[in-house]
Every structure is written in C-alpha cells, then in structure tokens.
Amino acid sequence: MTAVAAPRPSTRRDLRTLLAENPIIVLTAVLVVLYVATGLKDHSLFTSNGVRSILLLACPLAIFAASQTLCMLTGGIDLSIAMTANLVAYVAANQYSRGTAAILALGLALLVGIAVGIVNGIGIGVFKVNPLIMTLGMASVLLGLVTVWLKTILKGSTNLIPFVKTVGSGTLVGPLPTNIIVWAVVATVLVLGLRSSGIGRMVYAVGDNRIACRLAGVRVWQVLLVVYIVASLLAAVAGLLFSGTTGSVGPDQTNSYLLPSVAAAVIGGTSILGGSGGYSGTIVGALILTVLNRLLLALDTSEAFKQILYGLIVLALAWLYVRLTGHKGTADAR
Amino acid sequence: MTSPTASVHRVATSIPEPTGGLQRFLHRQAWTTGVAVLMVLLVLWRTSQVPHFGDFEIRTITAGAMSLAFLAMAQALVVISGGIDLSVGAMLVFTNCLSALWMDGKGLGECIGIAVAVVAIAIAMSSLIGVIITVSGVPDIIVTLAASFTISGLALVVLKSPGGGASLDFQKLVAGGLNDYWPSLLWTVGTLALVWLPLRRTRLGLAIYAVGSNRGASFLAGVNVARTRVLAYSLGGLFAGLAGIITTAYTGGGEPRASIGANATLNSVAAVVLGGVALTGGVGGLAGPVMAAVCLSLIPAIMLGRGWDPSYAETWRGVIIIAVVLVGGLVQTRRRAT
C-alpha cells in the first residue's frame, strides 16, 4: 500500500475508505435494518418459518440474478432468462407427464436451456449483435414458440417431476429450505470461479476492455459464448426451482423476476457497464429485494403503492451505492 | 489498344465523379431507405391479403401503429443522446390512464386542454428522471427501470381498473373515424416534418447528436452535456405523453395494466433499433423508427391474414429484429473495411 500517510488520519475518512472498498458491509447493514423493520411489522419473520420463507423465495431470484451478474460483468445483459425459465419448466413437466423418465425429462429440459444459451452466445459473441437486442429478440422468439407449442408439441397435461417439487418446496433442516442446496452450489462455483479460474478472470477482462482483451490474444467470442450458455443454464435451473416452489408451470410465470434480477445485481454492486462487481454482492441484493417485497406485503398497502415504493427504494439503494463507492456507472463529463 | 499499365494509371488518377443528389441521399440514408422499402413491402403484402383494401384498412394500419410510432420517437431521441429510457412504456400507460380519467364525459375543448396538461406532466416527470440520472451518476438503465415501477404504480393510483373515456370528437380529431385515415397519418407525418426536422437543425438538436456520439468531446467543445441529456429525456417525455394521449383517443379508455407498459417499452426499443438508431448513441433519426413501428405493428395482421397462428407473430418479430441488426452490423463492418 502507499507509504505516505495523511498528517492526521481522521477516523471518519478511514471509515469512508473502508466502506468504499467493502460496500458489502453497507449492503448487509441495509439488509439487517430492513429485516428488523419488516420483523417489527410482521412478527412471523423472527421465527424459523419466517426465515425459511424468505430464503425459499430469495433462491430463484438469486439464481436469476446470478445469470444477470455474469452477463453484466462482460458488459452485457440477458433479457431472455425469464422466458427460458418458463419454457424449461414447461418442457420438464410436460415430458414427465408423458411418461419420460424423470432424469431424462430433466436432462431434456436443461438441454433446451443450453440451446437457448448457445444461440444467444453465437449471436452476441460471433455476430456481435448488441446483447440487449439479441436477448430481447430471443425473449420474443421464445414467447411466440411457447404460445404455439402449448397447442402443438407440448400439448397435454403437466405434472411436476417429484424431485423438482421436493427440491423446490421441501425443508432441509430447521429454517433452511431444500432449494438452498442448489443456491449454495451456484454461489460457491460462481464466487470461487469468478475469483480464481481462468475463464472467471477473462469474464472481468472482457467486460473491462474488450479491445485490449482481443489484442492480448483472448478469444472474446468464446468467453461470451460460455457466459451466455451458463446464464441460460442458470435461468433453466431457476425456472425449475420456481415451478417446484409454486407447484405450477405456465408460459409467463417467472416474467416478474426479470427486472428484479437486474435490480438485484445492480444493488449488489455489479456495474451494468461490465468489469466490476461479483456474485457475493448479488446474493445480498437478492435478499434485500425479497425482504423488501415482504415489507411491502406486511404494510398492507395497495398494489399501486407497493410498486411506487419498490421503484423508489431500488433507485435509492442504487444511488446510495454509487455515492458510497464513488465509482460512477457512466463515464460522465459534466 | 492501351497497355494494362496505362489503364491502371488512368484509373488511379481519375477524378471522382460528382455524385448525384439521389445517390447521395441513398448513401446517407441507406438504413432509413431500407426500412421504408420493408414497410412498403409489408403494406403491399397486407393489401394483397384483403379483398377490398379501402379507407378502413388504411386507417387500421395508420391509427393502429400511431401510439407505437410516437413511443418509438420518444425512445429514439433518448437513444440518440446516448441514453436509454426503459420507462417510456410505463409513461404511456400513466398518461393514458390520467387522460382517460380526466377526459371522461368532457367536451372537445376541455379534452384538448387536458391533453396539453397531461403532456406537460409527462414532460415534467421525464425531466425529473433525466435530472436524477445526471446528478446521481446511477446508470440510466437502472434509473429508468426503477422509474418504470414507480410510474406503473402511479398509473394504478390514477385508475384502479380499466375505464375512463374521452370525447368522441376528440377521438376523431386524433385517431380519425373508422374510415378516416387522414388525422392519424397527418399527426404522425406532421410531427416528423414540423417538430423533428426543424429541431434536429437547432442548437439543441445538434447538441443531442454530439453528446450521443462522444460525451467527453462535446464537453470539451463547450456543449452543456448535463443540460442536453436532461432535455433529451424531457423531449422523450413529450413524445411518450403524446403516445399515451393517442392511446386514449384510439381505444377510448384507460388501461392501467403494467404489462402493457413493459411490452410497449420493449417494442419501442425494437422499433428504434430496426429504425437505424445505434444503441451507442449519436446515429439515426426519427423517421426510421416511425416506419419500423409501422412494420412491427403490421406483422400480427399479416400472419392472421395468411391463416397462421398469430402467436407466431412474437417469434417473427424477434427473428426480424435479430436478423436486421445482425445483417446491418455485417454491412457496416464491410463498408468500413472498404
């Protein structure tokens, strides 16, 4: 570190630096405050069942936000994750109720997810289509396909695979729902993988400076391809978990997760311009949004007021984050 | 009987022919021309499907595409200035609900006054969003995303369930009667010709393009970057508010569902990209997005006309957007290489 110390280091500045370098401390503090505030309104939150319900609901959001975090780290975004999740959950349930073995139905469904990721990745990585447009278009394509397929090749009953149902809604021990196992695996792989694997470092590098990466010999298109495949795969997993939790499948059931998944990653400190952030912040971001939803529910206000508050609080948190860390989201020249 | 070297020599020193006006126009407006051709082809396709293609069918196309066309103008202005506004759809729903609530049972004169007031509110709200973006330093995607939640909520406060109305005369003035396509056509073309074309030549119009193509350079050149960005959002609010008023006039009521707004936002982004406005900012105009909006709103009707499941319309919309951007990107790389 720097050898020159300020003449009289004020503790206030030290604290500021500490917070600016570890924004996750502030995020956790916000989470705790929000949790306690919600708990005062809705006492069930302090019971083991209350904790379980928060974790249960936060899990699909956190996994959706994981795919968003990955894409955002490369400077992209994936707006097709919700439609991918819907399609995958539907395929799994439909195949299973037709008599396909559970493991095969699950495999087929995940393959569908991977296929979507490959198309996205090729479009963005090889043909350099803007990620926003590529995944927006993909979401349109999937929406049309799902609507038609419901009447043709995916016609028929939909019974959830029991395994999906167990993982999606069971209880592991005490306040821990079963789906937290999946979340823990995803979190471990992402946090460690992004920090210390080759591809993980390349994800940051590509997001930071694509031209420099290309000049340094990184095959940028391969990195992007992998990122979008993993993102779609994570979306598929989240879709399956969500169907297990709610016990239903539908052509638009996870659409309400799309924008919160972006918000969770941003609140967690991942820059939408790429190159900075990580999954640990996103986890806290997803928890904050879930508790926030619960608070708005406990306040017993109208749907309209809930949406107004939700938007304002997301904005306030993002603003707080920028204020605190001092790194602006945009290269401003004012 | 010239030797090969002589011919090479002559080619190398030849003075470039002055290009004709039409040629220059086609070269500079290549993308817009392409969209115009696509629009004409789609309209012709639609014409061939209907046995008696008359005023009613034309009005269905012009009035049906009108609100998306105005929303595309709103999005295009913000994108040209280097930003993006994911709250335009919510703004459309909000102004739709507010105007439908206030206009219910009023006369033509009052309705026009209300329309002006509602558009003023939309401009004020969008300006506030612009100010928040420039002051806070939070990325525009995030601010407008959060704003879209809040504005959808406000729309629900204004109108709890579908309802409201507007004076019939006002509806005819904006969207035309069932067989009258002139009002919708004139409003759209008139806005492009009388508002946009003069605007892009003003100091503000140039500043919007400059800020969109290079924020740092335009700051160094003395452009007030923050003010220009805010004004781009204000103008976006103007067009989004108009789109809401048009929706009220076209449907004769207000519909507060948030999903309509989200869908409209996505369509506006699609129209902007299809219309030749680069998401990186500084490139494109408003005519392209307007024509792209017509194309996008024609797709479902054409599919229905061919007897295909109209649900495939979504798929085709997605495929067309991706294909156009992909081909456009390839063409631009090719052109830069030569």
Tell me: the pLDDT tens digits for B94-111?
999 999 999 998 889 999
Region A137-145 average pLDDT: 89
- Among B216, B317, B329, select the one facing A333 at the smallest CB separation: B216
- Mean predicted confidence (pLDDT) in A99-121: 93
Residue B89's contacts (CB-CB under 8 Å, 6 or more residues apart) are: B71, B148, B260, B261, B262, B263, B264, B265, B266, B267, B268
Give percent above pLDDT 90 in chain A.
Answer: 45
Q: Which residues of A touch B140 (CB under 8 A)?
A: 330
Task: Report the alpha-carbon distance of residue B200 to residue B178 in Å, rounded.
Answer: 34
Q: Which chain B residues have a beta carbon less than 8 Å from that of A126? A: none
Chosen from A315, A317, A321, A328 to mutate, greatest number of chain B CBs within 10 A: A315
**Most trustworthy range by pLDDT among A49-53, A145-149, A236-240:** A236-240
**Residue B194, both tokens:** 């009388």
Give the closest residue to B275 by CA, choosing from B285, B262, B264, B265: B285
pLDDT in tens, B284-299: 889 999 999 999 888 8
Question: Taking CB atoms and an 8 Å limit, are A308 and B226 in contact across chains?
Answer: no
Nearest CA in chain A to B273: A133
Q: In this prediction, what percent of chain B has a pLDDT beyond 70?
A: 94
* Per-residue model confidence as pLDDT tens digits over B235-288: 999 999 999 999 999 998 898 887 788 888 888 988 998 898 888 888 888 999
CB contact under 8 A, B326 and A333: no
Q: Which pLDDT belongs to residue B115?
A: 94
Give ipTM to 2 decimals: 0.81
Shortest CA gap A221–chain B (Å): 15
Residue A8: pLDDT band by 50, 70, 90 thresholds?
low
pLDDT of residue B10: 53
Q: How far is CA A157 from CA A65, A82, A153, in A?
A: 30, 22, 12
**Average pLDDT value for residue range A111-139:** 91
Confidence bin at A1 (pLDDT 50/70/90): very low
Q: Above 90 in pLDDT, residue B57?
A: no
Q: Do A309 and B315 touch (CB under 8 A)?
A: no
The pLDDT, as a whole number, for residue A330 is: 42
Alpha-carbon gap: A289 to the closest alpha carbon of chain B (Å): 13
**Concatenated DSSP letters for B173-203?**
HHH--TT--HHHHHHHHHIIIIIIHHHHHSH
Q: How far is B334 from chain A (nearest CA, A)?
A: 13
* Contact (CB<8Å) B145/A259: yes
- Over residues B163-216, the pLDDT tens digits come to 888 888 888 888 887 788 888 889 999 999 999 999 989 999 999 999 999 999
pLDDT 10s digits, A305-319: 888 888 898 888 888
3-state secondary structure of B235: helix
Distance of CA A31 to the CA centre of its chain: 17
Q: Do the chains contact at A123 and B322, CB–CB below 8 Å?
A: yes
Write out chain A residues lying below 8 Å of B149, CB-based: 259, 307-308, 310-311, 314
**Cβ count near B239 (within 10 Å):** 31
Query: ∠ CA(B284), CA(B285), CA(B286), 5° rounding?
Result: 140
CA A260 to chain centroid, in Å, comes to: 8
Contacts of B314 in chain A (CB under 8 A): 140-141, 143-144, 147
Neighbours of A323 (CB within 10 A): 12
Count of CB pairs separated by less than 8 Å, A with B: 174
Average pLDDT on A217-231 reads 95
Residue A334 has a pLDDT of: 34
The two structure tokens encoding residue A129: 């289509």
Of all residues in chain B, the one with the smallest CA distance to A119 is B322
Q: Is A141 exposed, middle or buried (0-12, 13-18, 19+ CB in 10 A)?
A: buried
> For A47-61, A117-131, B29-43, B103-117, which range has the lowest pLDDT when averaged over its residues?
B29-43
